[in-house]
Amino acid sequence: MTHFGKWMGAAAVGGLVVAGSLAGAAGPAVATTAATPVTVVEKLTGPDAPNNTWGRWDIKGTDLGIMWDDGNGKVLMAFGDTFGNAWTGPGGGSGHNGNWRSNVLVRSSDRDLSDGMLFESAPQAPMGIAKELIPSRKINGDEMTTIPTAGIAVGKRQYMGFMSVKQWGEPGYWDTNYAGIAYSDDDGENWTVSDTRWDNTPAGDHPFQMQAYARKGGDIYVFGTQNGRNGPASVARVPERKLLDKSAYRYWDGHRWSKDEADAVPIVEAPVSELSVQYDAYSKRFLLMTLSGEDIVLRTAKNPQGPWSAPQTVASSADYPGLYGGYFHPWSEAGEIYFAMSQWSPYNVYLMRMQVDPDGRIVNPNLVSNPSFERADAIGDGTGGTWACTPNCGIDTAPASSFSGDHNAFVRYNTGWRNIWQDVTVQPNTSYRLTGWVRTSVNSDAGFFGARTTEGNVVSEAHFVSLGPWTKLTVDFESGPLSTVQVFAGVWTNSGDIWLQVDDVAVIRQ
């Protein structure tokens, strides 16, 4: 264990926890072994996020990020329990004056998601902070919070599905009062909670307590799961103009669409939760993303009732511990799919990217192994999917010191070239893009991030001096005759005590 954070000033931990969250729920992740094919595009919220949600709207710690097209050139993005300046994380909850809001929302018209997703505005309270849209009582055992689960526009009206959380429970468990729908006729600025709701059963097994919306034709398919993370999924269908009319809902009973809610049968086996579903014109399939166990997985189907494909791993908790809440961006094209993913540590939301082929299979995965440094505390020799580094260096496990998750890699010294690297298998004569997040001490004056041959000849690299906070670096390269490249991040340390950290490294075929 390396305590790099001692040198960095670890974030203070403590204060009265006033709220849990979906992931309060997550608890420590049990590492799985599947690789993570998707890549991090950007940190969307909180400290070091280019959107500066902390400075602009007092959104310092938050999660989820449910997105939908507002029908007017923008995407609306709804977040769950949100904390402000006093939040010290990781995880949900904060001390007094944490400015806890059960839900907030931002708007974006950014159509180039490859370089991140710019937020333009947020419904605000008079103080300029992002305001709570659906109120909650904030009383444990009564109504703790109101968390968005879905959103969709019909005409000029915005609808937001939410769950009224009665109380948080053991990891993976929480109790809901009901699933409800709020609506807005002013592009999400002000919301009215409708009378339409699905009350939970006394046993806590009502199948539509967390709802997700997917549109095809003039219908909205409403996918439901139970409270918590341990039930199956069911589906209902409703004409889009009748979303608030419960009598217009038809529930899939295994053979046909039934009027009777009690007839609904599971269409995806347990355990699934935090569903996001959308119809993908490129693969002509419904794509369903869900937390399943400790990982986010993707299933596909030509019809909303299934049959659904076997799960493909989207993101493994071995790489992104405490991950949850994968939610599609609605403007994905030609198999290039963007989505929001939450991580309990640091309790913020990341924009992620994956590619699917015309059959709905995930393709062009990240070729870097252990890309977020979460799979081991020890450094290796750079081969076989391990990382190597020149002393003094290692895996930094100090709290709140990583770009994502709990680990990053560091080098620190006062003489010579210090760097971190991994051998990555590539195809010859192919274009690749290398990305990663780096930060340095302020006195850093010559750093490099790039790809080189295993003999050390640079193929392509970016130069930097003093980066300050976590900064995304991007390097495109051609593999030429190479079948292995060595990706690296390093710094010259001849000008004093200089350090560098790196996290979330990716190599993707272009």
Which chain residues interact with Ca ion by CB under 5 A? Answer: 110, 112, 115-116, 372, 402, 404-405, 407, 503
Minimum gap (Å) between residue 408 Cβ and Ca ion: 5
Decide whether 108 or 290 has the Cβ nearer to Ca ion: 108
**Choice between 206 and 407, CB closer to Ca ion:** 407
Please count the CA atoms within 13 angstroms of the CA of 301 that sit on its side-chain side: 17
Residues 211, 179 contacting (CB under 8 angstroms): yes
Rounded distance between C-alpha atoms, residue 112 and residue 110, angstroms = 6
Structure token pair of residue 426 = 């590539």
Q: Which is nearer to Ca ion, 29 or 179 (CB)?
A: 29
DSSP-based three-state secondary structure for 492:
strand
Q: How far is the CB of 407 from Ca ion (least distance, A)?
A: 5
Query: What minimum distance in Å lies between the beta carbon of 472 and Ca ion?
Result: 12
Beta carbons within 8 Å of 295's beta carbon, 6+ residues apart: 32, 34, 313, 314, 315, 316, 317, 323
First to last CA, the chain: 36
| Nearest distance from C-beta of residue 350 to Ca ion, angstroms | 11
**Residue 312 CB partners (closer than 8 Å, separation 6+):** 297, 298, 299, 361, 362
> Is the Cβ–Cβ distance between 283 and 328 less than 8 Å?
no
| In the complex, least distance from residue 504 CB atom to Ca ion, rounded to whole angstroms | 6
Strand stretches in 282-430, DSSP E: 285-292, 295-301, 312-315, 323-328, 336-343, 348-356, 362-363, 388-389, 393-396, 408-413, 417-425
Q: Considering the complex, what minimum distance in angstroms separates the CB of residue 116 from Ca ion?
A: 5
Nearer to Ca ion, 161 or 405 (CB): 405
- If you ran DSSP here, which 8-state letter would residue 452 be given? E
Using CA atoms, how far apart are residues 64 and 326, in angstroms rounded to an integer?
7
- CB 89, CB 400: distance < 8 Å: yes
Q: Are 223 and 232 a contacting pair, CB within 8 Å?
A: no
Residue 369 vs 372, nearer CB to Ca ion: 372
Indicate the residue among 192 and 510 with the shorter CB distance to Ca ion: 510
CB 41 within 8 A of CB 353: yes
Which of 43, 229 has the CB closer to Ca ion? 43
111 contacts 331 by C-beta, under 8 angstroms: yes
Q: Closest distance between Ca ion and the C-beta of residue 96, in Å?
A: 31
Provide, rounded to whole angstroms, the least separation between the CB of residue 55 and Ca ion: 19
Of 58 and 319, CB closest to Ca ion: 319
Cβ proximity of 317 and 29 under 8 Å: yes
For Ca ion, give the closer residue by CB, 23 or 129: 23
Smallest separation (angstroms) from Ca ion to the CB of 102: 28
